[in-house]
Structure 1
Amino acid sequence: MEWRDQGILLNLRRHGETSVIIDVFTRTHGRHAGIVRGGAGRRLGPILQPGAQLDLTWRARLPDQLGGYTVEPLRSRTYTAISDRVALAGLNTVCALLTFCLPEREAHAGLYENTEFLLDLLEHPEVWPLAYVKWEMQMLEEMGFALDLSACAVTGATQELIYVSPKTGRAVSRAGAGEWADRLLPLPPVLRGVGDGNPEEIKQALHTTGHFLQNHLAPSLGNRPMPEARSRFLNALNRRT
């Protein structure tokens, strides 16, 4: 059994003295683990870092076995991010969230393409936070928790949509909110794809997407705790702004 693909390294752990088990988000095979012989050695050790883009060949005798990888590096993203606290925290968050939510061996081609695009933007801090917000929105949609922000859930209006229902993920207008406004989540324009996203809008957007990650996605995955990497990323982003 053999296939070849490209993938993004999400995490790794030591296996024996010289090998590692890597967890990779691949273009056509989804999140897929495998052993890299010699992965802890001098040649491959510096290459196998979270976020690395790899050319992969996977082999196993049977399809349900862990199998082994032969890897060739395409590009490293750690070196791009390591000099910037926000970029490094963002890289770690993307890898942690994908590990957290993606089922094994289930293809998510659209999310893969967007993740590769997002990570290649790490060296552009002026646009990266907005791209990250859009990525979290897509991840929620891929996992079955898409937000419906097209019209007010109460009145059907398409104007003055400034809230999101924390229960349904649907937009709510100023008029439709009424006395429930203080119980609703903010809906900044960037969540609807409008504007470039100033720091306050980015903060509001991540508060809203974070609610659905914590209170909708996480329970569907057995109430596992959310990765701490996301909180560290938000703290780094807030310190910068």
Structure 2
Amino acid sequence: MLIRAAGLICAVRPHGEHGAVVRLLTAEHGLRHGYVRGGRSRRLRPVLMPGNGVAAELRARTDTQLAALTVELLESRAPLHGEPMAAAAIDWATALTAIALPEAQPYPRLYAALGGLLAAIEAAPSARLWAGALARYELLLLAELGFGLDLARCAATGAGADLVYVSPRSGQAVSRAAGEPYAARLLPLPGFLLAGGEADWPALLDGFRLTGFFLARDLLGGAREAVLDARERLLARLRRLAGP
């Protein structure tokens, strides 16, 4: 096996005395992992950081063998790991990607979306300007893995307008008129998840509440649940920014 591709570093764990096993997302080859010799060295530690873009080469004699991985830095986001809010967002987005995606299946839309999200975190002066992109990334990941929400029409009436709730049971949108009597049992559907664009803090937190419910229920149960701690740390920071 020989793969040469651009990739986004998603997870790094020590392996042996000096090496590291790295998981990275590529556009054409999906999520891949490989062993980087000397990956814990002073030279490579700044390269092997979640969120960095690299040119990767994976070599293995068989598909079942742990590939040898070499990387060349293309885009460094290492400085962002010194900023608590940006670091928390990168840690969550990359950890979610690393644990949720199956190995070696291409998800080009997710690759592009993750790259765009990381660029937004790097460029935006305020967390409110990239928080919506993160919530939409979570929504896209659910859809790409077969757990997509049906947000096109109301589950009760079939109407396509004024959709403000989601049924936690079916994952289908519900209109304001149909959902008001049951609002306490429904999840809020903020408009930015449908129309894009910026959103205020209450809408952003509603968006994370919605995606978080389905991530926890459908995707991150069992042993994968521990990764949600990274999400909760990020949300705690966002709630403090949002204020009372």
Question: TM-score w.r.t. structure 2 length?
Answer: 0.92
**Counterpart of 1:113?**
112
1:148 partner letter: D
Over residues 181-213 of structure 1, what are the superposed CA-to-partner deviations in whole Å (9 max), with x where a residue is unaligned?
210000111121255211110000110111100
Over residues 107-149 of structure 1, what are the superposed CA-to-partner deviations in whole Å (9 max), with x where a residue is unaligned?
1111011101110111303421111111111111011111111
Over residues 51-78 of structure 1, what are the superposed CA-to-partner deviations in whole Å (9 max), with x where a residue is unaligned?
1111001111112211101110111213
The separation in 1 between residues aligned to 2:223 and 2:49, in whole angstroms, is 28
* Unmatched runs of 5 consecutive residues or more in structure 2: none
**Counterpart of 2:39?**
39
* Unmatched runs of 5 consecutive residues or more in structure 1: none
Q: Aligned ranges for residues 93-104 of structure 1 at < 5 Å? A: 93-104=92-103
1:60 partner letter: A
* Secondary structure, counterpart of 1:225 in structure 2: helix
Q: Aligned ranges for residues 67-216 of structure 1 at < 5 Å? A: 67-83=67-83, 85-123=84-122, 124=124, 125=126, 126-177=128-179, 179-216=181-218
Task: Please state how far the C-alpha of 1:226 moved relative to its aligned partner.
Answer: 4.6
* Secondary structure, counterpart of 1:127 in structure 2: helix
**Conserved 8 A contact 2:31-2:102:** yes
* Secondary structure, counterpart of 1:120 in structure 2: helix
2:234 partner letter: F
The separation in 2 between residues aligned to 1:25 and 1:54, in whole angstroms, is 10
**Counterpart of 1:50?**
50
CA RMSD in angstroms, aligned pairs only: 1.5
**Conserved 8 A contact 1:19-1:37:** yes
Question: TM-score w.r.t. structure 1 length?
Answer: 0.93
**Conserved 8 A contact 1:78-1:88:** no
Identity of aligned residues (%): 39
Residues 226 and 170 of structure 1: is their aligned pair in 2 closer, same or farther, counting only changes over 3 Å?
A: farther
* Secondary structure, counterpart of 1:205 in structure 2: helix
